[in-house]
A and B are shown apart, each in its own frame.
Chain A
Amino acid sequence: MKPFRKLAVNRYTPYYLPVLVVAVWQLLGQYGYISTRTLPTPLQVAEAGISLAKSGEIFQYIYDSAKRAFIGLAIGGGIGFVLGVVNGLFPIANRYLDSSLQMIRNVPHLALIPLVILWFGIDETAKIFLVALGVFFPIYMNTVHGIRSIDPGLIEMAKVYELKGFAFYREVILPGALSSVLVGLRYALGFMWLTLIVAETISANSGIGYMAMNAREFMRLDIVVFAIILYAILGKLSDSAAKLMERRLLRWNPNYTKS
């Protein structure tokens, strides 16, 4: 019983299912149950990846995509955070701004693509604009929520101990809102890659989306699938980075010290 249990519950258990899926996929492809013109086998995809890595093209594409993604995140996330702090702290600002922002939020931002192409053309600005719009709302909403949910007792305590101005923000407001802001960041990272993929697929002259669309023209399905896997890996990596930040910044909270 014991060795079986050890096999069933260890640190590699999350990887059992993906490995199984890939193995079945390889076997089905290899024995002709799936035509390689529909879906290349994992080995073919890996070969495509290796040859792209050898030529060095892939690193340039990843760099271009990541650069767009993070510039968009910095702009949209920064504006979302600042507006969230302002609207969370000052009810008057919230009255003026919030309902307008909620209206914009309910427009799917990818529906703006035709407009964005007309405004900015098809170069970098358009993609960064879309990414910024996509990450703005999760960060804005969660910042407002985080500030609203700070214990009023702590705010009164700050009054008794004369914490004012910048010290008040640094000691009470920002750390109090931080766990919500980080949840917002994790959502935003998801939206960031999603928006970027769509934007790059529609029009680009560099980046992973460009690579995939280019490969489609030549029926290089292995490269197309490789691009999809690359997006999955990048998404997972940024989520893990956000989780690591959570663990580091919220280590005072017993709920985050484990798991």
Chain B
Amino acid sequence: MSTHRLGARLHIQSAMKRFGEQDVLRGIDLTIPAGQFVAIVGRSGCGKSTLLRLIAGLEPPSGGELTLDGETIGGHHADTRMLFQDARLLPWRKAVDNVQVGLRTRSRERALDALSQVGLADKANEWPGVLSGGQRQRVALARALAGQPRLLLLDEPLGALDALTRIEMQQLIERLWQEQGFTAVLVTHDVSEAVALADRVILIENGRISLDVNITLDRPRERDGGFVHFEKLILDRILERDSSEAPRGKKLSYSI
């Protein structure tokens, strides 16, 4: 009962990815212990989504090695599930049937269980077309978690949702992560989302890890001084603001 509830341990050693002439990832070294919640942030085009696709086994690395519990990732792994930015539900299947896709047994009861975990038991027989964006994403989350994955990858899953729905979804993801104990890797461009959810935030710049901070705040996270401290630390690093220069902003010139 308890073995499959444990998260997977992910080890990445000098992973590289090249598309044609362009180096997207130039050697990533990262070890994520079982059950940790890691957020990967960075500007768009920095390679964070590519890294996630390598971890998912959707694309092979051009160099280096990625292992899951000591096993090399080659192609898609059965213990890994991914939540995309768009929910990617099958529009011709009802909500509960979409969740069943995530279950190897295709058990309807388990699918209904998973739906009630995300608070959508009453929408089981609706077509995805009539659900709201947030509800669709919750169905996708139920589908991802129904199979009890050991590694959950989240590719900006909340990017398209409105602010209130986002906060609800963040709380939901945090609660399910605490209950099920899977390892989670979240890619996001929203630094405050990263600080709100993750044990550890990693910043990727020019295909390399340029910052790796542990967020030492208690859960559930309050938006207090500590929270703002971490948020500012990471944002300043992304925007390359030197804290000593920041107040003298008049000298900065912007070119667009």
A153: CB under 8 A from chain B? yes
**Interface residue tally of chain B, by bracket?**
20 to 34
Question: A4-12, A104-112, A127-135, A154-162: which one contacts chain B?
Answer: A154-162
Q: Would you list which residues of chain B between 49 and 99 have a CB under 8 Å from chain A?
A: 56, 58, 76, 78, 80-82, 84, 86, 88, 90-94
Q: Is B130 an interface residue (CB 8 A)?
A: yes
Contact B82 A160 (CB under 8 A): yes
- Docked Cα-Cα span, A178 to B78, in Å, equals 30
Give the chain A neighbours of B101 by CB distance below 8 A. 161, 163, 171
Q: Is the CB of B58 within 8 A of A171?
A: no
> Chain B CB within 10 Å — which of A157, A160, A175, A254 has the most?
A160
Contact of A175 among B84, B90, B130 (CB under 8 A): B90
Among candidates A159, A172, A254, residue contacting B90 with C-beta atoms closer than 8 Å: A172
Q: Mark B29-59, 1 if CB is under 8 A from A, else 0.
A: 0000000000000000000000000001010
Complex: how many Å from CA A62 to CA B81? 57
* Alpha-carbon separation in the docked complex, A24 to B81 (Å): 69
Chain A: CB-nearest residue to B88: A157
Are A159's CB and B102's CB within 8 A? no
B88 to chain A, nearest CB (A): 4
Partner of A160 from the list B56, B94, B130 (CB cut-off 8 Å) is: B56
B129 on interface, CB distance cutoff 8 Å: yes
Q: Of all chain B residues, which has the CB nearest A251? A: B127
Chain A residues within 8 Å of B91, by CB? 252-253
- Please give the distance in Å from A222's CB to the nearest CB on chain B: 49
Smallest distance from the beta carbon of A124 to chain B beta carbons, Å? 38
- Report Cα–Cα, A178/B93, bound state, in Å: 14
Bound Cα distance from A175 to B92, whole angstroms: 7
Residue of A with least CB distance to B53: A156
Cβ < 8 Å to B, chain A residues 142-180: 151, 153-154, 156-157, 159-163, 171-172, 175-176, 178
Q: Which residue of B lies closest to A160 (CB)?
A: B82
Which residue of chain A has its CB nearest to the CB of B129?
A254
Q: Which of A157, A176, A252, A254 contacts B84 (CB 8 A)?
A: A157
User: Across the two chains, which residue of chain B brings its CB closest to A171?
Assistant: B90
Query: Cβ of A154 and Cβ of B76 under 8 Å apart?
Result: no
A252 and B92 contacting across the interface, CB-CB below 8 Å: yes
A159 CA to B59 CA, complexed, in Å: 12
From residue A171, how far is it (CB to closest CB) to chain B in Å?
Answer: 6
Residues B89-147 near A (CB distance < 8 A): 90-94, 101-102, 104, 127-130, 143
User: Given A154-B90, A175-B90, A252-B127, are A160 and B58 neighbors across the interface (CB < 8 Å)?
Assistant: yes
Q: Which residues of A contact B102 (CB under 8 A)?
A: 161
In the complex, chain B residues whose CB is within 8 Å of the CB of A172: 90
Query: B residues within 8 A CB of A253?
Result: 91-92, 129
* The residue from A154, A162, A252 contacting B88, defined by CB atoms under 8 A apart: A154
Chain B residues near A156 (CB, 8 Å)? 58, 84, 88
Interface centre among A171, A172, A178, A252 (most CB of B within 10 A): A252
- Residues of A with C-beta under 8 A to B86: 153
Cβ A254 vs Cβ B130 within 8 A:
yes
Is A252 in contact with B129, judged by CB distance below 8 angstroms? yes
By a CB distance below 8 angstroms, the chain B residues around A163 are 101
Inter-chain contact B127/A159, CB cutoff 8 Å: no
A153-B84, A161-B102, A252-B127 known; A171-B93 Cβ under 8 A: yes
Which residues of B have CB within 8 Å of A175?
Answer: 90, 92-93
Q: Establish whether residues B78 and A153, one from each chain, have CB atoms under 8 Å apart when the complex forms.
A: no
User: Which residue of chain B lies nearest to A151 when distances are taken between CB atoms in the complex?
Assistant: B88
CA distance A185 to B89 in the complex (A): 27
By beta carbon, the residue of chain A nearest B130 is A254
A163 to B76, CA, bound (A): 12
Within the complex, the shortest CB–CB distance from A135 to chain B, in Å, comes to 25
CB distance from B132 to the nearest CB of A (A): 13
Q: How far is the CA of A42 from the CA of B113 in the complex (A)?
A: 65
- Say yes or no: B130 contacts A159, CB within 8 Å: no
Complex Cα distance, B84 from A153, in Å, reads 9
15 more contacts with CB within 8 A, not counting A157-B84, A159-B58, are: A153-B88, A156-B84, A156-B88, A157-B88, A161-B101, A161-B143, A162-B76, A163-B101, A175-B90, A175-B92, A251-B127, A253-B92, A253-B129, A254-B127, A254-B129
19 inter-chain pairs at a CB distance below 8 angstroms, sorted by A residue, are: A153-B84, A153-B88, A160-B58, A160-B76, A160-B80, A161-B81, A161-B101, A161-B102, A162-B76, A162-B78, A163-B101, A172-B90, A251-B127, A252-B91, A252-B93, A252-B94, A252-B128, A252-B129, A253-B129
Q: Would you list the 5 A-B pairs with minimal beta carbon distance, nearest first?
A: A175-B92, A157-B88, A252-B92, A252-B127, A254-B129
